Amino acid sequence: MELHGLVLFCMMYLIATATPGPGIAAILARVLGRGHAGLGAFIAGYVVGDLIWFTLAATGMAMLAKTAHILFLGIKYAGAVYLLYLAYRLWTSPVDAMTVGDVRSQESRARLFLSSLTLTLGNPKAIIFYLALLPTVIDLPNMTVTAFLEVAGAICIILSSVLSAYSIAAFRARRLFQSRRALRWLNRSTGTVMAGAAVAVATRN
């Protein structure tokens, strides 16, 4: 793949991933409400989800993705339901005064991975990028294995970096809340954000 084409993709992808959407809202709410426990698995789900969409587009399966409307509709609503569940947990879970470090998460890493993976596969923002915008930047029919690996590597690096940056900012903000009352307010506020992200996922076409 020519250098200018890869650079153009990286710039376009960086803008797309850094722009706030349901995925960013979910990870911010997750870190603000629960700290960084299991964050690696949560971010990995987003990365794998994007790689799946990229593979579908690069291997000429975009038409299959477009025609499998019921399947992807089900994935989208499953992701929205899980976000609503997380919002409910944030609203109803008891809080303790925060100590230096992290809040222990009762959720398994596998569940966190699957939740962010499902959210990515059903996220209209990701669907639009890979099935509509990506073909305008990359010559997908003539993509070589080397070019595929280069773009896949760029996806892993850029998306992980963007989500990590958002997570660090959210965790630093969380450390400002020390009292039980402040933490309860924080949990309910982030729960509301999570619910809003669920509505955005479920209602966007």
**DSSP annotation string for 58-111:** HTT-HHHHHH-HHHHHHHHHHHHHHHHHHHHHHHHS------SS-PPP-S-HHH
**Residues 162, 183: Cα–Cα separation, whole Å:** 26
Q: Which of 7, 48, 9, 30 is nearest to 90 (CA)?
A: 30
pLDDT tens per residue across span 2-37: 787 788 889 888 888 887 777 787 787 778 767 777
pTM for the model? 0.68
Domain ranges of the chain: 3-203
pLDDT at 14: 87
Instruction: Indicate the pLDDT class of residue 81, thresholds 50, 70 and 90.
Output: confident
pLDDT at 94: 62
Which helix H or strand E contains 1, and what residues bound it?
Answer: none
Contact 43, 167 (CB under 8 A): yes
Question: Is the pLDDT higher at 174 or at 114?
Answer: 114
Instruction: Indicate the pLDDT class of residue 159, thresholds 50, 70 and 90.
Output: very high
pLDDT at 97: 43
Looking at the predicted structure, is the pLDDT value of residue 43 above 80? yes
Q: Give mean pLDDT, residues 77-97.
A: 65
pLDDT at 78: 67
**Residues whose CB falls within 8 Å of the CB of residue 193, separated by 6 or more in sequence, listed in order:** 25, 28, 29
pLDDT tens per residue across span 105-150: 456 788 889 888 888 887 777 777 787 777 777 887 788 889 899 9
In the block, tokens 């991933």 appear at 17
Instruction: Indicate the pLDDT class of residue 98, thresholds 50, 70 and 90.
Output: very low
Looking at the predicted structure, is the pLDDT value of residue 64 above 80? no
Looking at the predicted structure, is the pLDDT value of residue 86 above 50? yes
